[in-house]
Chains A and B, each alone.
Chain A
Amino acid sequence: MVKSNDLILRTMTVLIAFILFGFAVYLLLAGHNAPGGGFIGGLMTAAAILLMYMAYGTTTANKILPINYRILITVGLIIAVGTGVGSFIFGQPFMSQTFDYYHFPLFGELELATALIFDLGVYLTVIGVTMTIVLTISNDRE
């Protein structure tokens, strides 16, 4: 183990990680009509978290984000399945989707689709699976 000088990486990580989180949320909300969606948004968030792990090490990053990523998989899957089952309440076939236009202050007319809730489930699942794989692989030594 060589003691290395990574001052630039550590300083830029603080800035870049938040840009990546913002871009990930943009990708999540831009999905199902434009390039983007839950999967790639989750991958982007996982990349941002991974950057923090690479710059600061496991101990510090666990202190910053005390999240059990295996629970995140469960929550995401429950949300995704719940979206599919929820269509039974309205007498529709499994996984039916709908959308409508609503007026919001500050944003104006927006299209809200139930596919976004499904995307949110996919997003959480992808974060959980990716981070579980990466952290498990990085922990297998010593």
Chain B
Amino acid sequence: MNGLEIDFKDIIQIVTVICLATITVSIGLLLYRVIKGPTNPDRAVALDAIGINLMALAGLTAIMLVTTRLNDVVLLIGILLFIGTIALAKYLEKGVIIDRDMD
């Protein structure tokens, strides 16, 4: 009777650890693309994906520690990532990030 019962907390714990490990490997591979990447757009896309993986890491840590304090952190990383990606995209397209005059 006891052997068949599955503890829900154990499942959450195992899945969280597996996801953390997978995301760590993913960040490592993306880091290789950032350093090696043949062209600059490759690096921009890889940096964007690293930011998304960081948000996932913060969310998984919040699940693991059973806290709501990290929800702000996820939102914060998302906003800063958004600004950074826009700046990188503008630099790749135009060469300037803050133009003096836009007509």
Contact = CB atoms under 8 A, between A and B. Distances in A.
Interface of A: 1-2, 4, 9, 16, 20, 23, 27, 30, 34-36, 40, 44, 47, 50-51, 53-54, 56-60, 134-135, 138, 141-142
Given A47-B83, A56-B102, A57-B98, A36 B72 contact: yes
Contact of B93 (A2, A50, A58, A134): A2
Which of under 10, 10 to 19, 20 to 34, or 35 or more describes the interface residues of B? 20 to 34
B101 A59 contact: yes
A93 B83 CA distance: 42
Given A44-B79, A50-B83, A57 B102 contact: yes
A58 B101 contact: yes
B86 A34 contact: no
Contacts, number: 59
22 contacts: A1-B94, A2-B93, A2-B94, A9-B86, A20-B79, A23-B75, A27-B72, A27-B76, A35-B69, A35-B70, A35-B73, A36-B72, A44-B76, A47-B80, A51-B86, A54-B83, A54-B87, A57-B99, A58-B101, A59-B101, A138-B96, A138-B98
A19 to B, nearest CB: 9
B79 A59 contact: no
A23 B98 contact: no
B97 interface: yes
Question: Chain B contact residues: over half helix, strand or loop, or mixed?
Answer: helix
A12 to B, nearest CB: 10
Contact of A23 (B79, B82, B94): B79
B17 to A, nearest CB: 24
B86 A54 contact: yes
A1 B99 CA distance: 10
Contacts of B100: 57-59, 142
B53 to A, nearest CB: 21
